[in-house]
Amino acid sequence: MMEEDETADERTSLLKEQSNPLHQIHSQLIRPRHNQQQQQSLLRYRSSTDSTHFLRPIQSHSLSTEIILSSQSPPGFLSSSALNENDLSVEPVGLDLGSEYLSSFRRSRLITLDIFRGSILCLQTLETSFEYLSKYSGSGSPSYLYWHQHVKFPLPRIEYSIRILTMVCTPALHFLLGCSCVFSLNTRRSLGWRSFGLISRSIKLGSILLVLNQCLMIQGIIQSHGKVLLIMTPIWSLGWNLIFITITLNSIFLIQRSILNYLIASHCADPSTDRSINPPASTDQSVIQDDESILTKTSTELLDLKLREVLKRIDRVVDYMLVIASLGLPIMVGYMLPGQRTGPDQDWWIDWAQTRSFWFWFFISPTPDMSSNPRFKMISNYAPIGWLPFVIFGAFYGRLFLRKKKSRIELFLFHLKFSFYFLIVFLITRLLDVGNFSIPSLEELKNINNDQGGDPGATKDFFSEVLFLRLYGYLRKISLMVWFKEGSIQIFLFTSNFPPDLSNLSLSLLLIFCLIGTFFLIMPRLVLEFNPMIQFGRSAISFYSIQLLSFHYVLPSVLSILDWPSRTKRLNLLSILIINLFCLPIFWLICETIVILKDQKPIESVSKKRFKKK
C-alpha cells in the first residue's frame, strides 16, 4: 500500500508541475522509474490483446524482443515448429501444449512441409540409384551439367527424364533449410535462447554435417589414392548454408531490436509523449488517478501502434533485400566465372581456372573432374555460395509463412502467385539470355538437326545482335512450333546445375511452389496420416545418408560380388526402379526408429538455461 501511495503521489506531482521551470530537473530524477513503468504498461497492454502471443516465453525477454516475436506469427500458431533437432525437421515435438489451433495448423501447414520433404527425398533416391547403379546396366549415368560443359542435343530420353524428375531435389532441400531455420530461430528465441547460443548451435550442427559429408565420401578419397581429398554432396552445402543463414537472420533480428530499443528509449525519455491529453483541472486525488490511467493507456496504445508500424516497415525492407539477394546472387556468380569457351574442347576452362583462387572454387563455383586431374584435389558439385540463393528465398518464404493465418485455398493461391512470378523470370532468361550459363547450348537451337549446316559446337556472341532482331527470331521460332521438337524442348528447359544459374533458380522455384501449393490444396487426411513420408521428412539427413550408403557402397559391392555386369547379366531401367522401390520400406523402418529415438528427448532440453539474462 505504501508503494502504491508513493507512486500515486509521484504521478500527481508530475501533473501539477508541468508548467514549473523545475519540471525538467524533476523528470530527470524520476526517469528510470518512469521508463520501467512505461515498458511494463506496454507489456501488460500487449498481453491483453489477442494478436500478440506466438508463444508465452519460458524466460522473460526485453520489451523489444517480445514485440518482434509476437508480431511474426498469428495467435495459436504452432510455436514448436522446426526445432531443427539435428536433422532439419519441421515437425513439432510437443511444445505446442495449449495451442488453440493445434489440429488445423498442425495438419494443414506443418506436416505438409514434412511430407513435401519426404517426397523430395524419395525422388533423390531415384537420382542416387541411377548415378551409382547405371554402370551395371551398360548405359551412362545421368548427366551432371556444369557451366563450362558442351552438351549435344537431343540427350537420351531416359537420361533427360531422370534429370527433369530429380532437378528439384537439391534446390528443394536448400529451400526447406532456409524455411525451417526461420521457424527454429523464432521458436528457440521464444524459449529463452540468446543470439550467441543460436549461432553456436548452428556452427555445431553445420560442422557435424561437414564431417558427415567427408565420412560418406571416404571411399572416393581412398580409391583416388589421396589425389582427391574433398568430394562434396548436398550435405556439404547444407552445412555451410545453415551457418550462413543463421548468422544472417540473427543479424537482422539484432538490427530490428536495436531500432525498437532506440524508439522505446526516446519515447520514455521524452515526458511530453505522455501528455497527449490535457491534465485534469480538478485537485481531487481520486479523479486525478482515474484520468492518469486513461492517459497512460492512451500513450501505451500509441507507442504500441508506432512500434508495430515501424516493425512492418523494417520487415518490408528485409523482405525486399532477401528477394534481391536471391535473384542477384546467381547473376553475380555468373560474372565472376572465367572467360567464355571458344570451341567444343571439354577442357577449355582448365587454363582459365588458374585465374581464380582456391577459395573461389571452394565456396562459389564447382570444380568437377578435369581429365583425371581435379583442381586443388577436390571435386565440388555443391559450392555453398552457389546454392545459397535457394536458402535465402526459403528464409523469405518462411517469414511470409509465419505472419498470417491462411485457409487452404488462400495457401494454394499464395503459392500459385509465386509460381507465376518465377515463370515470368524463367521466360525472361530464355528471351534475353540474362543470368543464363547455358548460352552456348542454346545457340544450338539455330543448328538443331543441322538444318542450317552450322557447327553445333561453335559459339557466338549473343549480346552483339540487336535486341529487336533477337526477340523477333524467338517469336518466329515459337510461331513455327520449333520448340516442340524433341531436341528443342530439351534445349529450352536446359539449365546449368553447377552452379545454379538464374534460369535454374527460377525453374526450380517454379516447380517447388507448384508442388507445395498442390500439396496444400489436395492433401487429404489419409495422405496427411501417411506415416512413411512424414518419417522421411522428419529424419531428412538420416534418410539421405542411409540411401547414399545403400546405393553408393552396399548395392554396388553386392553386384560386384555377383559378377555384374556381364554379357548375360545387366540391369535395365525397370530393374533399377524395382530395386529403388524395394529399398524404400527398409528405409522407412530405419527412419521410424530414428524418429522414435529422437522423440525421447525431453521437452525441457530445448530450453537453454545457461543463456538466461543475468
Rounded distance, CA 607 to CA 600, Å? 16
DSSP 379: E
> Whole-prediction pTM value?
0.78
CA distance 229 to 227: 6
22 within a domain of the structure (yes/no): no
Helix H, strand E, coil C: the string for 192-218 is CCCHHHHHHHHHHHHHHHHHHHHHHCH
Q: Are 190 and 59 in contact (CB under 8 A)?
A: no
Distances (CA, A) of 9 to 25, 266, 609: 17, 25, 40
Burial class (CB in 10 A: 0-12, 13-18, 19+), 141: middle
For the stretch 490-515, pLDDT in tens is 777 878 888 898 989 999 999 999 99
Q: How many domains does the chain have?
A: 1
The residue-averaged pLDDT of 89-113 equals 43
In a domain, 16, yes or no: no
pLDDT bin (cut points 50, 70, 90) of residue 50 is very low
Q: Is 446 among the domain residues?
A: no
Q: Which of 404, 472, 453, 475 is nearest to 74 (CA)?
A: 404
The number of angstroms, rounded, from the C-alpha of 147 to the middle of its chain's C-alpha atoms is 24
- Residue 238 falls within a domain, yes or no? yes
The span from the CA of 528 to the CA of 551, in Å, is 29
For the four alpha carbons of 433, 438, 443 and 445, in that order, the dihedral sign comes to negative
Write out the three cell numbers for 81.
Answer: 515448429
| 3-class SS letters over 20-56 | CCCHHHHHHHHHHHHHHHHHHHHHHHHHHCCCCCCCC
Amino acid identity of 440?
Answer: P
pLDDT tens, residue by residue, 376-402: 788 888 999 999 999 999 999 988 887
Is 431 a domain residue? yes
Contact 426, 507 (CB under 8 A): yes
Grid look-up 585465374 returns 355
| pLDDT 10s digits, 299-350 | 667 777 788 888 889 999 999 999 999 999 998 988 888 766 555 566 667 7
Q: Output the pLDDT for position 436.
A: 72
- Domain with 44, as residue range(s), is 40-277+295-438+494-604
Residue 31 lies in a domain: no
Largest CA distance in the chain: 107
